[in-house]
Each structure stands twice: as structure tokens, then as C-alpha cells.
Structure 1
Amino acid sequence: MSIISHECASTDGIEPGVALFRSLGDPARLAIVRRLAAGEARVADLTADLGLAQSTISSHVACLKDCGLVDGRMDGRRVYYSLARPELMEMLAAAEVLLAATGNAVVLCPNYGADAAVAEAAR
């Protein structure tokens, strides 16, 4: 699968890319990924660090595992989660560069920016 293509614009074959960006598009999942970038953590650690409910963390970690972005390591009865692919760190670093280069202009986007999130929450 190639997200970037030099052929004419087409939607053929972009579904995996769409799924990848959607998997990271949820604020809770992105926060979990950012936290795991700092090192492995248990659900209890993520709950404490992110201030989200345990059930929320568990369901989002399961989603990230299903997407192949997060791995779990058993240690007795505890599961320690970590990022599964170093390429994810590279992609997040590239996103930071892009956000800096655009002056975080995406925040102003009427469809996906800060105002859109507020409008969505009000619905």
C-alpha cells in the first residue's frame, strides 16, 4: 500500500492509510500513543497519567493493539504496553515538523480544527 502516489489522483488502495490515520485520530488514542512513546506502561499507569477512565483506556489500547500499533508484554498478572513499531515514532516526529511548519494551521480548519471539536461536543 502506498499513500503517496505519483499517478493521477485516485482513491484506489487508500483504505489502509485511512484506517491508520483514523486509529490515531481519536484524542484518547493519540494521548496513549504519545504516553507510550515515553516508555511502556500498564493500563493503571495510563489511567493515572492521562486522567481517563480505566474502561476508556482499555478499549482504546485494544483498538491500538488490533491496528498493530501497540504490543502487550505479560509480567506475571500485569500487562505492560509499548509501541509496536519504531516507524510510528518517525511518523509522529514528522507530524510535529509539519505542524510547526504550518504554524498549527490545522487547528483553524473548519472541519477538523478546534472549533469543529467544540461544535461536535455540543451536539
Structure 2
Amino acid sequence: MNHLVADVDAAATATYADLFDALSDPTRLAILQHLATGEHRVRDLVEHLGLAQSTVSKHLACLRDCGLVAARPEGRSTVLSLAAAPPLAALLRAAEDLLAATGARVSLCTHLVRPEEG
């Protein structure tokens, strides 16, 4: 039997894995949900999540490294926002569809998953 072997781009595969790794953590998903409602400072997220500043900063670094979160200085604070809200919303809608197809129907966050319908 003749099987076609697809070439695997190791760098592209690693980039995909990094993105899905960033989305695999409940704290990072919670941060994205908060940012879907609008801009936040790090200390706002610390307060909302009830976590240490160092923990929130570590998760934000991961999200920034993947290009999901943008940061801009404002005085002595850093203001954070979603870097790519429409594509992220589309990805999460696709994840909802996949979860529904596998028997686990859930919705992450209406602000994040359906921003165009708000």
C-alpha cells in the first residue's frame, strides 16, 4: 500500500503548540475573558483573579509571547488588551463546535466568543 507522507514543518508545528499551550491554562483563559471586556492594568487583573502579581505577570508574559495580548505603557502602569480579538473569538467558537461534536457542549465567555453579537 502506497502511503503519502506529508512533510512536517517542525517550526510551524512548534508555533501551533505554543499557541495551544497558552490557551490550555485556566488562569490564562480567565485573563483573556477579563480582557475581552476591555483594557485592564496588571493590578486590576490581580484584584479580579485573586492571584499574586508575579503569577499574573507570568501568565501575561506567555500570552504576550504568543501575540494574544498587547501591552502599552500608561504612566507607571501597563495597560493590557486583546491583540487579536476577532481571530481569537473565531478560534474559541471553533473550539466550542469541536467540544459540542465530542459531547462536551460548553461556552467559555460570551464577551470573548461572540463579540460581534454584543
What's the TM-score, normalizing by structure 1? 0.68
Question: How many pairs are equivalent?
Answer: 99
Query: Where in structure 2 are there 5+ consecutive unaligned residues?
Result: 106-118
Give the corresponding residue for 1:113.
none
Distance 1:8 1:71, change over 3 A: same
CA offsets 1:46-84 (integer angstroms, 9 cap, x no match): 111112211100111112112211101222112110111
User: Is the partner of 1:104 in helix, strand or coil?
Assistant: coil
Distance 1:49 1:97, change over 3 A: farther
Percentage identity across paired residues of the two chains: 54
CA offsets 1:1-24 (integer angstroms, 9 cap, x no match): xxxxxx756643422111110111
**Distance of 1:51 and 1:100 partners within structure 2:** 31
Give the corresponding residue for 2:100.
100
Q: Is the Cα contact below 8 Å between 1:71 and 1:83 reproduced in 2?
A: yes
Give the corresponding residue for 1:44.
43
What's the TM-score, normalizing by structure 2? 0.71
Give the corresponding residue for 2:80.
81
* RMSD (Å), alpha carbons: 2.1
User: Is the partner of 1:25 in helix, strand or coil?
Assistant: coil
Give the corresponding residue for 1:63.
62
**Distance of 1:9 and 1:27 partners within structure 2:** 33
Query: Where in structure 1 are there 5+ consecutive unaligned residues?
Result: 1-6, 106-123
**Distance of 1:98 and 1:35 partners within structure 2:** 23
